[in-house]
């Protein structure tokens, strides 16, 4: 069943990537949430985790779906709603990671990635851009979101599961691009650069934690 659902999620993700690559917003409105719906199903059946881990994985993927739907809008309100949903999703993945066994072997890798992710243009450009664009509320929201992303990466690293850590890195990289594109400067091929690591990252994160 997991394999079948992964195939379905892959096909839907490919449709979404095509939609964003050729600017087909109507197709994207279908494929984007449909892909996350398939990944929610994957989270519900993959591996043999504890009930606690399973629940948090499903919650995390579900908030991803909510965030995707919110970000289909272009307003600041839609962006904040999406940011909030994804933050809650990240926290659910943190809870799933902390509910698994731990191995500190990858913590240094995760920590170095966090430092690099936010040192490169985020602190110096994206954060000031967020304050300039939306004032204190949006600027603080972006900083808090960065802290949540950091917790997600480090918690994945603390499991010692390489698949989960790679997934967390890809997921966070997608978020980095969204912030830079919105508050600093347009990113070439933004749709693909955001959606490919987003879908692949969540899939790897779910599979890594579900098979711990």
**pLDDT tens-digit map of 137-162:** 899 999 999 999 999 999 999 999 99
18: number of Cβ within 10 Å: 15
- Cα separation, 178 vs 171, in Å, equals 11
Both structure tokens of 49: 């985790």
How many residues are listed for the chain in this entry?
Answer: 212
Burial class (CB in 10 A: 0-12, 13-18, 19+), 78: middle
Both structure tokens of 11: 């096909």
Which tens digit of pLDDT belongs to each residue from 7-29?
999 999 999 999 999 999 999 99
Mean pLDDT of the chain: 94
pLDDT confidence of residue 76: 80
Q: How confident is the model at residue 71 (pLDDT cuts 50, 70, 90)?
A: confident
pLDDT confidence of residue 177: 95
pLDDT confidence of residue 106: 94
pLDDT confidence of residue 141: 92
Both structure tokens of 193: 């650069």
Pick the residue with more confidence: 212 or 201? Answer: 201
Which tens digit of pLDDT belongs to each residue from 180-209?
999 999 999 999 999 999 999 999 999 999
pLDDT confidence of residue 209: 96
Residue whose C-alpha is closest to residue 47's, from 155, 149, 157, 164: 164
Q: In the 3-class helix/strand/coil scheme, how is 19-81 assigned residue by residue?
A: HHHCCCHHHHHHHHHHHHHHHHHHHHHCCCCCHHHHHHHHHHHHHHHHHHHHHCCCCHHHHHH
User: Given a cut of 90, is residue 75 above it in pLDDT?
Assistant: no
Rounded mean pLDDT of 84-97?
A: 96
């711990």: which residue's tokens?
212
Residue whose C-alpha is closest to residue 92's, from 51, 70, 60: 60
Which tens digit of pLDDT belongs to each residue from 22-54?
999 999 999 999 999 999 999 999 999 999 999
pLDDT confidence of residue 73: 83
pLDDT confidence of residue 103: 85
- Cα separation, 59 vs 183, in Å, equals 29
Share of the chain above pLDDT 90, in %: 87
212: number of Cβ within 10 Å: 22
């Amino acid at each position: 069943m997991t394999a079948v659902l992964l195939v379905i999620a892959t096909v839907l993700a490919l449709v979404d990537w095509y939609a964003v690559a050729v600017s087909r917003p109507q197709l994207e409105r279908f494929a984007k949430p449909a892909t996350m719906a398939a990944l929610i199903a994957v989270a519900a059946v993959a591996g043999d985790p504890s009930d606690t881990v399973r629940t948090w994985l499903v919650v995390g993927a579900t908030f991803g779906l909510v965030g995707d739907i919110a970000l289909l809008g272009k307003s600041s309100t839609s962006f904040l709603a999406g940011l909030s949903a994804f933050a809650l999703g990240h926290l659910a993945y943190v809870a799933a990671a902390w509910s698994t066994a731990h191995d500190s072997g990858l913590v240094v890798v995760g920590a170095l990635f966090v430092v690099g992710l936010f040192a490169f243009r985020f602190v110096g450009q994206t954060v000031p851009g967020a304050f300039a664009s939306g004032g204190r509320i949006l600027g603080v929201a972006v900083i808090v979101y960065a802290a949540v992303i950091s917790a997600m990466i480090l918690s994945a690293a603390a499991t010692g599961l390489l698949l989960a850590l790679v997934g967390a890195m890809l997921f966070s990289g997608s978020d980095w691009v969204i912030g830079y594109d919105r508050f600093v400067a347009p990113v070439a091929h933004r749709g693909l650069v955001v959606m490919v690591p987003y879908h692949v990252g969540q899939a790897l994160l779910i599979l890594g934690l579900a098979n711990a």
